[in-house]
Amino acid sequence: MEEPMALIGDKFPEMVVKTTHGMKTLPKDYSGKWLVFFSHPADFTPVCTTEFVAFQKRIAEFRKLNCELVGLSIDQVFSHLKWIEWIGDKLDVKIEFPVIADDTGKVAMKLGIIHPAKGTSTVRAVFIVDDKGIIRAILYYPQELGRNMDEILRMVKGLQIVDAKGVAMPANWPNNELIKDEVIVPPAQDERTAKERLKQYECFDWWFCHKKA
């Protein structure tokens, strides 16, 4: 029987995995932290190498948000270790986050991230998991297109503000074309609140009010 695909709002599946930092239990080992779990098609490939460097260059920014990184591909752990060593030697970048060696493909199958047209390769998937172990966002990219790590950072920041303030985030936040770096107040659910909102906040209409984060 096939595993159901992980969806936004689901608990991140519990699993014990072999990584370049030893055995880990997910998401338990990251309890109380946010997690960016990402898969890449294969070690020793150009696009994936640029992605690993880009993630590492931003690791301090992720950690300021109480967020850790974990990578994965269907490669053996010695391949991960040699590739990480190559990145350090040739590109002078030390990869600090663990990389899962999913050489059996069990983790990828559990998460539904096997590329349907590329044999056993994993897609470029990203799962943003909150500090309670809940999947808050899922992104998929084709093999040919590298990810934008600044967007992933923006998503973690935005979701944390959503949780802390009970608001919604506009397009291109914090550089939205209508309300700049402000956030959206959830629409009123009754007539009295709708009228009060117009007095409390800047509004385009009762259903579209905004404020400072």
Active-site annotation, residues: 48
Identity of the amino acid at 171: A
Q: Take residue 121 and report the two structure tokens written for it.
A: 């390769």
Q: Cβ of 38: how many Cβ atoms within 10 Å?
A: 27
How far is the C-alpha of 164 from the C-alpha of 152, rounded, in Å?
19
Edge-to-edge strand order for the sheet containing 202-205?
A: 183-185, 208-211, 202-205
List, in sequence order, every residue forming a beta bridge with 124; answer none if it has no partner.
Answer: 141
Tokens 């579209």 identify what position? 208
Q: Which pair of tokens denotes residue 178?
A: 């209508």
Tell me the torsion sign for CA atoms 45, 49, 52, 55. Answer: negative
